[in-house]
Chain A
């Protein structure tokens, strides 16, 4: 199959005044075009580091990151990134926020504006173009941030716990909306999350990482019935519980194997 994203024997070392720390060790991963992959693991497994390397924000100390057949050199418009919070600019309207990526790339054209407006509409933000971010609820702001990410038409979306700061109900709605939107546009996605149920409900594949240093621990393929359903439906299916249980066991084992100095503590909260 066509791999759009690839990590090849990637290691990452953080250096500061007091020490040099190995954050990620010899990690290899491939993501197929149009698929949805989740990364889960205990804290200290380097999930966000991996995402930063995929985004081109961070150059791997060893190994290489390949996007669409090319070794990545820096951030590019082909990769979109959603942060944990919306980080909409408070001094810009919703539409101007959504157009930010196009504007920075010198692509704020009539066509781009029309496309962005249609995205806003599609994600239920029609009529809010002229509003300021503080006038919108948290869920609406995160949807506006999704439009900002999609407006530049990236092939790949990196999602860095984008639902973790939201209320449960809004979080579930947004999971459905994001999954269906990405699927209809044929986007590839990598989601980093603490929430195992979210990973199981949204993904085609879930990769479990071990910590200290962050490394590959195991991988789960989600069965087609759950994969094809919307996240809220998937959570209600009979098979869902058993997938959740095996992910949970795997995560516990990965936590035990790595980072003895930090004891047993896991920071995933099953919902």
Chain B
């Protein structure tokens, strides 16, 4: 083919991209292994205080033994459930409040200063209030999570609702569409990408809320294990819980990213 040299250029470009991607992955893996190795060596040779910093093989044997005797899973399960409920409920409630504000511009103008102030408050400090109000347990932990997620979600999604191109709404109005239809046909679908990205942010915020909540009150969960570890000076338990949180949080984040890919409009997808 006369055009084959053009294809060659493309192939070469792809090869280069693949090589660069591989180099990044390899460096990341080496860095991780190097750091773990250094930590392990430093721990075994007593360069660092093992009581405080522990070392990787101890952490993994801790995780392994609690997994093997089954004592780990109730803690893991409770924390994951609280987090999932927290970020999903936070996103849903935030979207519902945003819809209310969009619906009633008067309410939105009245509420504006209150929402801004509430957003800047350190709401985690309300944790004890929830514990007194809802009792120590699942509900007050989810409430702590919601106190972190709902307001910022409302703000972000309301901003997205307000920025929807007026001309799409004009199309609906020209067909005699009602306000409900405008919301259903234009405002909500146009904001789906924003809602998904707040879901992602809320995964992170929910973890903060859940761990703080468990610190304060819980009888089980990874946050409880950490605070218990602190109390009995078992830092291997603290750090192994932290590693589990990192793993589970990554899995959740990837899950939401996968959902995003499934739902995202093809015209907005990055290549």
* Pair B175/A100 contact, Cβ less than 8 Å: yes
Instruction: Indicate if B15 sits at the interface (CB-CB under 8 A).
Output: no
The reply to whether A104 and B267 form a contact with Cβ atoms under 8 Å apart is no
**Residue of B170, B176, B192, B267 most packed against chain A (CB within 10 A):** B176
Report the minimum CB–CB distance from A95 to chain B (whole Å). 15
- The CA-CA distance from A83 to B174 in the complex, in Å, is 10
Q: How far is the CA of A74 from the CA of B175 in the complex (A)?
A: 10
Q: Mark A36-55, 1 if CB is under 8 A from B, else 0.
A: 00000000000000000001
Contacts A76-B176, A100-B185 given: A57-B167 contact, CB under 8 Å? no
Q: Would A89 and B185 be within 8 Å (CB), given that A132-B267, A134-B267 are in contact?
A: yes
Alpha-carbon separation in the docked complex, A104 to B175 (Å): 7
Closest chain A residue to B167, Cβ basis = A87
Is A85 an interface residue when CB atoms closer than 8 A count as contact? yes
Q: Are A90 and B267 in contact (CB under 8 A)?
A: yes
Task: Report how far A69 CA is from B1 CA in the complex, Å.
Answer: 68
CB of A101 within 8 Å of the partner chain: yes
Q: Complex: how many Å from CA A55 to CA B175?
A: 10
* Shortest Cβ distance from A149 into B: residue: B174
- Among residues of B, the one whose C-beta sits closest to the C-beta of A145 is B171
Of B175, B181, B266, most A-chain CB atoms within 10 Å: B175
**A87 — which chain B residues lie within 8 A by C-beta?**
165, 167-168, 170-171
How far apart are the CA atoms of A76 and B176 in the complex, in Å?
6
Q: Note all chain B residues with C-beta closer than 8 A to A83.
A: 167, 170-171
Dominant secondary structure of chain B at its interface with chain A: helix
Is B25 an interface position by the 8 A CB rule?
Answer: no
* Chain A contact residues: helix, strand, loop or mixed: loop
- B173 at the A interface (CB under 8 A): yes
B192 to chain A minimum Cβ distance, whole angstroms, is: 7
Report chain B residues within 8 Å CB of A132. Answer: 265-267
A216 at interface, CB cutoff 8 A: no
Q: How many A-B residue pairs have CB under 8 A?
A: 55
Min Cβ gap B45→A in Å is 60
Please determine whether A77 and B189 come into contact, CB atoms closer than 8 angstroms. no
B192 to chain A: which residues have CB within 8 Å?
91
Provide the B176-202 mask, 1 if CB < 8 A to any CB of A, else 0.
110001000110011010000000000
Q: Does A138 lie at the interface of the complex (its beta carbon under 8 Å from any beta carbon of B)?
A: no
Q: How far is the CA of A74 from the CA of B267 in the complex (A)?
A: 34
CB-nearest residue of chain A to B176: A75
Q: Is there a chain B Cβ closer than 8 Å to A152's Cβ?
A: yes
Question: Is B63 located at the chain interface by the 8 A CB criterion?
Answer: no
| Min CB gap B170→A, angstroms | 7
Chain A residues near B173 (CB, 8 Å)? 57, 75
Bound Cα distance A105, B192 (Å): 24
For the complex with contacts A91-B189, A133-B267, 6 further pairs of A-B residues with Cβ separation under 8 Å are: A57-B170, A80-B174, A89-B168, A89-B186, A132-B265, A134-B266
Question: What are 20 pairs between A and B in contact, CB < 8 Å?
Answer: A74-B176, A75-B174, A75-B176, A76-B176, A77-B175, A80-B174, A87-B165, A87-B170, A87-B171, A89-B171, A90-B267, A90-B268, A91-B192, A100-B171, A101-B175, A104-B175, A104-B181, A132-B265, A133-B267, A134-B267
